[in-house]
Amino acid sequence: MIPHSMRPFSLLFVLVCASCGNPDPCVEDPANCQDAGKDSGGPDGPGSCTGVCVPPAPGKWLATSLLWIGDTPNAAPPTCPDVMPAPFPGFADTPPTVECPVCSCSPSSAQCLLPAQLSANPDACPGGPGAQEFSAPPTWDGTCNATNPVSSADSLTVAPSPLPGGYCDPVVTGPPKIQGLMPAVECEGTPHVAPGTCGDQSMVCAFPKTEGFLTCIVQLGDQECPDGWPTKHRVFPNSQACGCQCSSPVGDSCSATVTVYKDGACSQPLGSVMASSDQPKGCVDVPHGSAFGSKFSTPPVYKAGTCTPTTLTEGAHLTFCCLP
């Protein structure tokens, strides 16, 4: 799958009916169709394509793009045409030299959960065999809860919930410095095809051919060009020249304080224990033989950790296979 950052290139052909009120003669009699008609730049014929007829993009190839390549490092690219207005600059055929900006990581973030497992123990801390479950329902929001009352206990044990997957956001300071020999611009946008169908039923109708640009199909990595698309160019997009990623956080934790009450309305406290994901189970002693009627938890608190940044300097490149 093409990465999210490659999304501008992930475009598929869609055949569009130019005028459903005028049936295409090629549909009715494809044996007599040889070309797309004068509107496509070819000889006269019965096809209804208002653009240019091209071979379909096979397999994993993504279609269709316009590609400009300059012949000197300082060549100025033309403006992308209205049919493909979005420019994506880069360099063609020879990888550019790249100086990447500073990559760092934000403090980590995570969504903490309330403690999930509470136990009423018949012995003092750290408890022992014979514990009774005193947990709240899975939907517990920390407010007073009287589920699973216990008639007699000497201590309360609270196990913290597992720490959810924390993460850090990559932080990039400044733009990359990129120098190359052959500047290139790939033009994208919508629509990507022209209305109508081709006289040659093995072809598809694409947008009109544009002066100064090659008509191409695209695939990630270094690929061999398929039949019908003979002109190959490797393109190194500026947007992919550098990357910044962060490791999993270290030192983060979630903690909450749980209080047990004698009554069922959280008005007669017996003791409190703090449970933290970076510590073993928490435990608190209560008067011998205490009844556990209810419990309450403070909202869980997240302590941010740190992540290790990594600068990615081997940018992705694309293969463009183009019409001559």
pLDDT in tens, 38-48: 444 444 455 78
pLDDT at 45: 53
Q: Is 65 part of a structural domain of the chain?
A: yes
Is residue 89 domain-shared with residue 187, that is, in the same domain?
yes
For residue 296, list its beta bridge partners.
259
- CA 208, 213, 219, 224 torsion-angle sign: positive
Q: Is 308 part of a structural domain of the chain?
A: no
φ/ψ region of 275 (left if φ > 0, alpha if ψ in -120 to 50, else beta) reads beta
Q: Are 52 and 81 in contact (CB under 8 A)?
A: no
Is residue 269 domain-shared with residue 186, that is, in the same domain?
no
Q: Is the pLDDT of residue 29 over 80?
A: no
Is residue 79 domain-shared with residue 24, that is, in the same domain?
yes
Share of the chain above pLDDT 70, in %: 84
Q: Which is more confident, 8 or 288?
A: 288
Q: Is 170 part of a structural domain of the chain?
A: no
The token pair that represents 140 in the structure block: 């517990």
Q: Which of 14-28, 104-118, 214-228 has the lowest mean pLDDT?
A: 14-28
Is residue 257 domain-shared with residue 236, that is, in the same domain?
no
Q: Is 81 part of a structural domain of the chain?
A: yes
Q: Is 37 part of a structural domain of the chain?
A: yes
Is residue 289 domain-shared with residue 181, that is, in the same domain?
no
Q: Which of 116-120, 205-209, 226-230, 297-301 has the lowest mean pLDDT?
A: 205-209
Is residue 25 domain-shared with residue 153, that is, in the same domain?
no
pLDDT at 127: 85
Report residue 228 CA to chain centroid gap: 33
Q: What are the Cα distances from residue 14, in Å, to 9, 24, 57, 237?
A: 15, 17, 11, 25
| Helix or strand (DSSP H, E) at 219 | strand 214-220
Is residue 236 domain-shared with residue 145, that is, in the same domain?
no
Q: What are the Cα distances from residue 192, in Å, to 44, 50, 83, 92, 185?
A: 24, 13, 7, 22, 17
Domain that holds residue 56: 4-100+176-240+315-322
Radius of gyration of the chain from its Cα atoms, rounded to whole angstroms: 33
Is residue 96 domain-shared with residue 121, that is, in the same domain?
no
Is residue 138 domain-shared with residue 77, that is, in the same domain?
no
pLDDT band of residue 239 (cuts 50, 70, 90) is confident
Averaged pLDDT, 153-158: 96
What is the distance between the alpha carbons of residues 258 and 236, in angstroms, rounded to a whole number?
Answer: 56
- Residue linked to tokens 């990039």: 172
Q: Are 169 and 246 in contact (CB under 8 A)?
A: yes
Tens digits of residue pLDDT in 51-97: 788 888 888 888 788 999 999 999 999 999 887 888 999 999 999 99
Q: How many domains does the chain have?
A: 2
What is the distance between the alpha carbons of residues 243 and 213, in angstroms, rounded to a whole number?
Answer: 29
Average pLDDT, rounded, for the chain: 84
Q: Is 58 part of a structural domain of the chain?
A: yes
Q: Is 59 part of a structural domain of the chain?
A: yes
Averaged pLDDT, 183-187: 95
What is the DSSP secondary structure assignment for residue 285, as one 8-state letter? E
pLDDT at 313: 79
Is residue 192 domain-shared with residue 86, that is, in the same domain?
yes
One-letter amino acid of 238: N
What is the distance between the alpha carbons of residues 197 and 206, in angstroms, rounded to a whole number?
Answer: 9
Q: Is the pLDDT of residue 161 over 90?
A: no
Averaged pLDDT, 244-267: 96
Q: Is 184 part of a structural domain of the chain?
A: yes
Is residue 10 domain-shared with residue 95, that is, in the same domain?
yes
The token pair that represents 46 in the structure block: 């019965």
What is the distance between the alpha carbons of residues 49 and 27, in angstroms, rounded to a whole number?
Answer: 12
Report residue 47 CA to chain centroid gap: 41
Is residue 82 domain-shared with residue 224, that is, in the same domain?
yes
